[in-house]
Structure 1
Amino acid sequence: MSTLVNLAYLAAAALFIIGIKRMNSPATARAGNRLSAVGMLIAIVATLASARILSPWMIAGGLALGTVLGILLAVRVQMTQMPEMVAALNGLGGAASALVAWAEVSRYTAAQAEGFAGSAFARHGLAALDGRLVITITLSVLIGAVTFSGSFVAFGKLNGKISGNPVSFPGMRLVTSLLALVAVAAVAFPLVMLGDSGFDAGPLAVSTLVLGVVALVLGVLLVIPIGGADMPVVVSLLNSYSGLAAAATGFVLENQALIVSGALVGASGIILSKIMCDAMNRSLLNVLVGGFGGGAAEGGARSAAGLTVRTVTPDDAAVLLAYAGQVVVVPGYGLAVAQAQHVIRELVDLVQARGVRVKYAIHPVAGRMPGHMNVLLAEANVPYDQLFEMDEINDEFERTDAVLVIGANDVVNPAARTDPSSPIYGMPILNVDRARNVIVLKRSMAAGYSGVENELFYLPRTGMLFGDARKSLERLVQEIKAL
């Protein structure tokens, strides 16, 4: 039986790795996601079957219930809600790891009631309580609880129930530092007591309880001062935390599949967080303590006083797009809010039928989570070969007749290149301002997540088309059809 289980775990690990590899490209991402899901199914069934804690009917019932819930979520959750759903799933993963670790502590506490000899643990099917096990249990609780509370703060910020602005109070960093020291002490305490009293599980139970409470508060204090501009990094980092918590729990349970899957999620999340930080020209430490981004600001590093905005009508914009040689579409979170991905696909099909070359420019931190724009456009069946990352397309803007910016803000702000006093200075951006013409679809002149005034809106070659992005695109479609 153990040989079959190990083979199943090996197959699951291979599917995880292949699945993650295939997620590198939009063309193979769906297949990669399916492979990873199959790998997880194999690992779950193998674990439940080998542990013999559930009957086959209970396993089948649980899988059926989970499948139904998953389908309901997939159908009912809107694309605009996808970032907060990812945050919630990260939090639930962290909570599961912490609860499993606490359940293991409860088993040791029950065994202790029969005496402190190692044989008492053996009768409960437990290994000797040693330093390695104590460290993995406490890490599972610490990382899992931080991930749970931090993820649901991110969930609140993403769906608007908590302000997207950085939230802080006097002495907040001191309180956070003191709680971190308490957490370290709670991890060390059972290790010290373990050396004195051998198999005593009492100090471990006390420490994990204290650690769980402290970690929950820490998770809130670590995420709540982070502004909306940094939410893509936060979601990615919390995803990494959930993987690390799962890996630690894998060591607690001596489950190879959990160790491998947790390590893969943890490592890929850290790598993705680094990519997100590079895309904003900021360090991970700066994201965590910087308190950057949030609501709209009254101005920016440069005042907009005296500058004028040129507005365009849908018919003027339609003519410009229909008779251009090349058009580049720059999607942002406004596209997701308006749920206009299908309309932009229809618009692009129309101008392509007139011989116009069209490409989509995707900035790494556009939207509210990593890959948000890719997923959004994939839902509208936009061909993958039309999607271009920032580094692939930036040199083409100078040869582009018209750029259509839909709800993007900070990622197209020239101040990142030209204004050393701007908070976003040095951030890699899409070189939209170098195109011959720019059409920006926005509801208003409100600043982006960073709160910085966007210089692009005031350039002579930029035309602002105000209104709901979906309605504006529908008008453009009508006007192009009428040409």
Structure 2
Amino acid sequence: MGIHILTLCYLIASVTFILGLKMLSHPTTARKGNLVAALGMAISIFGTIFLFEHRVDGESAHLHNLPLIFAALFIGSAIGFVSAKKIQMTAMPELVSLFNGMGGACAMLISVIEFYHYQFTATPSPNDVLYLTHKLSTLSILAITSGLVIGSISFSGSIIAWGKLRGVVKDRVFKGQRALNMLLLIVLVSSVVILVGITPSVSYVSTESIDPLNAISQTFQYISNLHIYLFYGILALSLIYGVLFVFPIGGADMPVVISLLNSFTGVAAACAGFVYNNQAMLTGGILVGAAGTLLTILMCKAMNRSLLNVIVGSFGGDAAGAAASAEQGHFKEVSLSDAAMVMSYAKKVMIVPGYGLAVAQAQHICNELESILEDKGVEVKYAIHPVAGRMPGHMNVLLAEADVNYEKLLEMEQANDEFKTCDVVLILGANDVVNPAAKKDPASPIYGMPILEVELSKMVIVNKRSMKPGYAGIENELFFQPKTSMLFGDAKKVLQDLCTEIKAV
């Protein structure tokens, strides 16, 4: 009876995961979608704890160590709740990377534990020279090893991504790195194929009953242990590849990397679900893996990058190109009063949010500026680049937090069609996503990346703290164009003063 109820719990959880993901596609239902998916996860967790049964010597057995399980649940939930509650929006990408890394680590540890479980649960008789252990099916060892590789890469790669976003890990590029990464990937795939081929037929040798002088027995023992050495060798190589894969990636490309690593964790979780024959785990992993993969492909398209380049770790361009940041001319500043005057009498204003807006926590005052301008008859819209910020959808989440009308958020293609009809474009902390070098300079590390073509408007006002280059580390020639004016200062303070000036016009 308990088994049938548990199956129903997994079915309910799977349905809630699908519904939750569907609801996440729109800002008005996203919060509710999170709660629905979380409810399904809770049902599957507690259903497993209280209803799971397995057969031992023909008798039914349940989970043991419930106090340890609940202690772990409490500690993990408390850490997750406090971390998510206290995190600033600017640090959200770091938290996402860290949590994603923990998911990869879980999948990795599951593979290690299950491989050990399959190989060493049975104890040989002292009289047996060779003892065949519980054999793995080809699909089982493939699922375990795939979860090990993908989970390990996701774990180590996410930790490096977390360090880069936090500023404690710098880009590391050396000659031949792309070739080394490709070689490591080939070795990993080859090792997995070999391991899958030899594991179902390996034997365990009872060392107590082997004559050390018996060469045949020694040979059997070596062959039987080879798959174990290979398994842990794959684990080490996967962790190393995850580090080398993320190290050279440029800062402006981190949203794509985070999305890709997220899809890795989903696939690793699906592999664990296959190993345990757990429908909820399998469904959740497939959904995360598929959604993350599709998002990665869409973002690669938005960045005009190859997914293969992401995988081999050459994403982000040449470091030498990124270092080129010499000023290309003279810029001009605009006063608050002049900026307020121009925007007050404009017919259409487009706001381009960037990481600087998130750093200043200025999304609410930005929404207030929008309201003030609309009261004066000005049409206000927002231009959102797919990779603005530090993670996928960063600007959408930021503006949704300030209750900005979702209908006013234009995707890149829509915004580029409307820039030519804009009187003023106000750029708030965005840099690389509006850099014309992406279209004009083949030597630039962001060359080929589709950008917001703000230079098509009549006037561009750029709010920045300083002339310091953006996350990609390159100069922005937009700042030196005749129609561009710089408005220096913290985004929140500047917008507050701008609101006051516009009210007075």
TM norm. shorter chain > 0.5: yes
Deviates more, 1:181-190 or 1:435-444: 181-190
Amino acid at match of 2:86: R
Distance 1:463 1:87, change over 3 A: same
Tell me by how many angstroms 1:392 deviates: 2.5
Match for residue 224 of structure 1? 247
1:364 aligns with 2:389: no
Deviates more, 1:436-445 or 1:195-204: 195-204
Kindly provide the CA deviation profile for residues 149-176 of structure 1, in whole angstroms up to 9, marking residues without a partner as x.
Answer: 110101111110012x4x1224434443
Tell me by how many angstroms 1:70 deviates: 2.8
Distance 1:392 1:39, change over 3 A: farther
2:321–2:444: 8 Å Cα contact kept in structure 1? no
Match for residue 108 of structure 2? 98
Please, which of 68, 77, 95 is the counterpart of residue 78 of structure 2?
68
Match for residue 91 of structure 2? 81
Distance 1:259 1:199, change over 3 A: farther
Kindly provide the CA deviation profile for residues 183-236 of structure 1, in whole angstroms up to 9, marking residues without a partner as x.
Answer: 335424443433543578844433322221111111101110111121011000
Note the residue ranges of structure 1 that are not aligned, 5 or more in a row.
122-127
Aligned mates of 1:246, 1:340 — CA distance in 2: 37
1:437 aligns with 2:437: no
Amino acid at match of 1:351: L
Match for residue 138 of structure 2? 131
Aligned mates of 2:199, 2:81 — CA distance in 1: 47
Please, which of 372, 396, 399 is the counterpart of residue 350 of structure 1?
372
Distance 1:377 1:304, change over 3 A: same
Identity %: 47
* Paired residues for 1:130-169 under 5 Å: 130-163=137-170, 165=171, 167-169=172-174
Amino acid at match of 2:344: A
Report the 3-state secondary structure (helix = DSSP H, G, I; strand = E; otherwise coil) of the residue aligned with 1:329.
strand
Match for residue 40 of structure 2? 39
Amino acid at match of 2:229: V
Distance 1:348 1:195, change over 3 A: closer
Report the 3-state secondary structure (helix = DSSP H, G, I; strand = E; otherwise coil) of the residue aligned with 2:37.
helix
Aligned mates of 1:108, 1:378 — CA distance in 2: 48
How many residues are matched?
A: 471
Aligned mates of 2:444, 2:84 — CA distance in 1: 40
1:189–1:203: 8 Å Cα contact kept in structure 2? no
Match for residue 271 of structure 1? 294
Distance 1:447 1:387, change over 3 A: same
Aligned mates of 1:424, 1:213 — CA distance in 2: 33
Report the 3-state secondary structure (helix = DSSP H, G, I; strand = E; otherwise coil) of the residue aligned with 1:447.
coil
Match for residue 63 of structure 2? 53
1:292 aligns with 2:312: no
Q: CA RMSD in A?
A: 2.6
Tell me by how many angstroms 1:358 deviates: 1.4
Report the 3-state secondary structure (helix = DSSP H, G, I; strand = E; otherwise coil) of the residue aligned with 1:28.
helix
Match for residue 374 of structure 1? 396
Kindly provide the CA deviation profile for residues 411-438 of structure 1, in whole angstroms up to 9, marking residues without a partner as x.
Answer: 1123334445544343222221111221
Kindly provide the CA deviation profile for residues 66-119 of structure 1, in whole angstroms up to 9, marking residues without a partner as x.
Answer: 44333211221111111011111111101001101111122223324346767x
Report the 3-state secondary structure (helix = DSSP H, G, I; strand = E; otherwise coil) of the residue aligned with 1:308.
coil
Deviates more, 1:188-197 or 1:95-104: 188-197
Deviates more, 1:72-81 or 1:234-243: 72-81
Aligned mates of 1:395, 1:33 — CA distance in 2: 34
Tell me by how many angstroms 1:323 deviates: 2.5
- Which of 1 and 2 has greater Rg? 2
Aligned mates of 2:228, 2:398 — CA distance in 1: 46
Please, which of 475, 486, 493 is the counterpart of residue 471 of structure 1?
493
Tell me by how many angstroms 1:296 deviates: 9.6
Aligned mates of 2:113, 2:470 — CA distance in 1: 45
1:176–1:221: 8 Å Cα contact kept in structure 2? yes
Match for residue 19 of structure 2? 18
Report the 3-state secondary structure (helix = DSSP H, G, I; strand = E; otherwise coil) of the residue aligned with 2:356.
helix
2:138–2:197: 8 Å Cα contact kept in structure 1? no
Tell me by how many angstroms 1:462 deviates: 1.3
Amino acid at match of 1:285: L
1:400–1:436: 8 Å Cα contact kept in structure 2? yes
Amino acid at match of 2:153: V
Tell me by how many angstroms 1:44 deviates: 1.7
Aligned mates of 1:173, 1:431 — CA distance in 2: 32
Distance 1:215 1:438, change over 3 A: same
Report the 3-state secondary structure (helix = DSSP H, G, I; strand = E; otherwise coil) of the residue aligned with 1:289.
coil
Amino acid at match of 2:408: Q
Aligned mates of 2:319, 2:19 — CA distance in 1: 37
Amino acid at match of 1:315: S
* Paired residues for 1:319-330 under 5 Å: 319-330=341-352
Aligned mates of 1:70, 1:329 — CA distance in 2: 34
Amino acid at match of 1:375: V
Match for residue 197 of structure 1? 202
Amino acid at match of 1:107: H
Deviates more, 1:167-176 or 1:441-450: 167-176
Distance 1:248 1:146, change over 3 A: same
